[in-house]
Amino acid sequence: MKMKFIISAFLVIALLNLLGCHSAPIQNVEYAPVTIKKLNYTEEDVAKLIMRAGASTPWRLEQNRPGVILATYYGPLEDGKISYSASVTITYTRQSYSIQYLSSTGNLHYGPGKIHENYNSWVKNLDNAIRREMLID
């Protein structure tokens, strides 16, 4: 009887955790190849391409230093305040780029290696925009 109660309680807690949190492992983009068709492009060309791609998304991008772009995604306003935000670092070279989790605020439920599942779709959309921009350039 006691064992049934413990198992039932464990299952209820596990189910509530799954339903309430919607967290997923953080998915970074690691060393995605730069596939610009132009022959003699520079690292600066890669930066411009990433910035142009970011302008077509809800992410706000700013050049941090050569080889590094900071991108931030802001949630909607609630009571005059931003409800949540997520920041990533985009590092790039002539050969590849990476998008890595930096920080988040609000109700994104960040925990070691996990975050709200929507975060991963925002990063995927940013990555797709960069890949599309490479096809154009």
Q: Which helix (H) or strand (E) holds 85?
A: strand 84-92
What CATH number belongs to 24-136? Answer: 3.30.310.80
Tell me the residue length of the chain.
137
Q: Looking at residue 6, what is its pLDDT?
A: 52
**Could you tell me the maximum CA-CA distance found in the chain, to the nearest angstrom?**
73
Helix/strand/coil for 10: helix
Region of 51 (left: φ > 0; alpha: ψ -120 to 50; beta: rest) is alpha
Residue 25, both tokens: 């492992």
Residue 111, both tokens: 């925990």
* pLDDT-based confidence at residue 22 (cuts at 50, 70, 90): confident
Q: Looking at residue 3, what is its pLDDT?
A: 56
Q: Looking at residue 137, what is its pLDDT?
A: 66
Alpha-carbon span 129 to 133, nearest angstrom: 6
pLDDT digits (tens, 9 = 90+) for 67-125: 999 999 998 888 888 889 999 999 999 999 999 999 999 989 899 999 999 999 999 99
* pLDDT-based confidence at residue 10 (cuts at 50, 70, 90): very low
Paired strand residues for 21: none
pLDDT digits (tens, 9 = 90+) for 23-51: 899 999 999 999 998 889 999 999 999 99
Q: Domain map of the chain by residue range?
A: 24-136
Q: Looking at residue 21, what is its pLDDT?
A: 58
Q: Looking at residue 4, what is its pLDDT?
A: 59
**CB-hemisphere CA count at 13 Å for 113?**
1
Pick the closest to residue 96 from 44, 34, 41 (CA basis).
34
